[in-house]
A and B are shown apart, each in its own frame.
Chain A
Amino acid sequence: MEEVQEGASAPSVHGHNIKVTEVVIDGDTLTFLIVSQKLSGTGEYHVYRIYEDLEWLQHHLFSQEDVPGIQGVIFPPIPAKPQVNASAKVMKQLGFLGLGEWQPYCKALESFLRQVASHSVLKKSKAVEIFLTSADPPGRQRVRKNIFNRLSQAVGEMRKEGHKDVDEFFQAARDQNLIITGCTKSATERFLDVVLTEQKIAVACGHFSAALHLCVEAGEDPDKQAFSSICVKLSEVFESIKKNMMSTAENNVSTLGLGLDLESRYQEAEKEMLFRRTCKLAELETARRNAEKAKPVKKAAMEEVKKAAETEFNHICGVAKQEIARYEAARVQMLQQALVQWCEKQLLTARESADQFDQCLQGFRGMA
């Protein structure tokens, strides 16, 4: 495994325009081509990465223990693991990201990398630099599943989720997060259902279009010809309808779908951050109690522990407050963009379809 030094240096590439330009499927493995622009303006980095490399990156980001208050960071969420010929369970997990030929997935990956490379704290990690610029793959050792980010680990941990807060701001943040996370997840799943049904309609239209061609008969009988040409034209109409549906579905996925998906995963990330803080709070309160109750022999040691917990906790709160503010602003902007793009694309598709249908209609009206 490569030695990773944490340094103060930011990555040597621009964060805001990292692109995932290609995905290569080789058997069961998906390999992504990641392109980033050098800060120096002298060119680009092209690197190939697989999912395990992402996990490596995430692990290193989590493990930056010497960064004060690191636990207060809302870590940009990585997408779920992709799978070629995914099972139903995996498809459900992936949601929007499992659709199409992995384009939505690539976009989500892009989002992630941009967020990491632009994050004031995270971008300084050497791991980021290595991930984005190293021609060799970063260490591919199987990474220990980091309990850092696992909310659902121990039942004991779960109890802390309801732990009352000492700070109004954070209590409110936790309450709001709880409500909104549920709503967003629900909306995302419902929207996915809409898209999947739209795709089914497109397929059915394709079938109808194909079946109509079977009704076309050769021959010179004018009545037969009249009917045959009706069938041909109708077949074209349904091809049009099919394309309209597919475009509509695609627009849904590439704008609002991805937006809701990202929002949903980010809210989970915020939830996890808040939980970490809550756990720290509980730890602190325990430390305080211990320090109070401690026998004189242990007192000094307990006080040390208490002080350390306090310091860490305050750091976390400081970072967390910043993160929450940043996140709130970013998510509104992100959702706005998603909604505007969604609306614009659907408007364009609707107008194009109206034109096509109009043409079809004129064609039919003009038929003998």
Chain B
Amino acid sequence: MPTVHDWINNPLAVVDGLFAQSNSSPDWEKKVVEYFKEKLKLNDAHTWVPSLNDVPLYYLKPNSLVKFRCMVQDMFDPEFFMGVYETNDLTSNSKQVKCGKYKDITVGGVDFNSRNTVTSERQTFYCVPIPGESQWAKEISFIWCTSQARVVPSTSYVPNRHKRSYEEDDEMDTQPQHDVDMWGRPKRQETEAPSHDSSSAHCTSSLDLNFPLPGEKGPACLVKVYEDWDGFKLNDMLEVFGILSVDPALSVIADEREASSLLDPTEVTETVEEQRVHSPPPSLVPRLHMLYAQPLVHNNPLLPSSAPENNGDHLSSVLGELASVRAELHTYLTHVLMGDSLAAEYLILHLISNVYSRRDVLPLGKFTLNLSGCPHSSPYTEHLYKVIQQLVPSSYRLCMSLHNMNNQRMVPRKDYTANRLVSGTLQLANNTSLFLDETQLEQGQLDATGVRNITALGNLISWQKVDYDFNYHQMEFPCNINVLITSEGRSLLPSDSQVNLRPTLNPPNLEEYLSAVQVAQVPSQFNKYRIYLSGARALNYTISDEITKAVEEDFVEMRKDDPQSMSAEDLHRLLVVARLLSLSHGQNTLSRDGWMKAKQLEALRISRTQQQKSLSGNEP
């Protein structure tokens, strides 16, 4: 076996080999990238590569090939390095031309006057684990990795959690609540990230790893990119395959630089703050020299990571009977929503919504749901969030308490002193579920931060963008985040659709009732739901000319009867509902029937809202 995995254990040898063969022709660089791409393609070879997400850093061999599932949190300035350099061994007086790519440091005397030196450029990205990734997604991707390969190559690390294969992990979800405590923190210690191990615990306090969400764990990484870096965007989800560089000399060099720059202000080096950010100790923030990166459309480990050709057939083949999965999910959510089947229907539509396109400033496909009528005092919303956490690969619950609104940093901000983008809770990867809990709000004063935060949330919902604060100006970053607002009355934030919760059940003990609902689910069902939700969201969708015409005529007809009841905005929403409804049934195209159903659904919802209004006696 060892020879087979040489490209994993010692990738630099492969790089050096290809470099030596090249005879200084520049296409060796391409060959290296091709070589590793080919290797990774071979029958699930990529699953053999150990993952930084799962394996603690100290178990990983330096300079070996590792992978990292992450989000690009910041992009640093490019740096120049010696792509090719010549060493001069003074003792033997022999010269040797070496390749400097995929390396941070070199050992031995470098001949700076060599004519063979080639200066190259690379780009550094600061990457963090995908914010808000659900525990189940983390665990499954770990199992995926270990169960398929059955070995963790090149490490001596044997995880002390149960090795379970994906097929036999039925009991995993039996009691989902027991995996996390009240705050969503995992209870099981072994799932903790290495940075919280005792060995490095003292460092964490002094170094802010800049995770977007509070309480996040896991390694952050400086990813060095050598090719096509302009193709990567901020907040992209990536699976990076690269060479791990953790040489302690790196931090020594950094320390030394820090010491000297303190003494000599004329040095054209970075400030102390910058160094701390840009050259953190590799034991905390390892360097990863990228060989290949797979952009992730989603981070659901149950689905293939890239699905360019997605249609309903594929999904059905995975799920068997799509209709039954949908029905089961609907029943489950109805129970969770205390018997409100309409709200369950809208929740499904919300969960599969996705900004599929932008027309000018208008994001298309978003479907922000405001679930009003949620009980104010009980921990109901907390339980509801847990249910959603079980269904989606990444999510975050934002309690809209006054304290949070006034104190939390939501919008990322550029810190020019340390020269980095200080993250905020709204720096989230695509398709993250953002659960805004307005039931936690109370009356009071919003200060400047609070107003900015509310404005940011409003912009996020209406335009699916976040304006990052660059001090001298703001910069707009488009996003694709599913926002669900739970509130008592209608939310103060805008939403695409408001459903007033109407429980048909009134369980005496809400908590017991909800855990009973959870337990009643056959655990394997959860994975089906997860595949269904992620899959349905990625489906293609079209509207035929015939239906287009029918819809247009219908609109004109409806306005003839009662122009007040049907505005352009209503049509807009109706089309979104129709789209999501069709997709939720695995249909790629809108049918007449689908259109009628969407209309019925909307009519039901609106009548409920109007009843609510007349009940409270409030004017719109």
Query: Is B a genuine binding partner of A?
Result: no
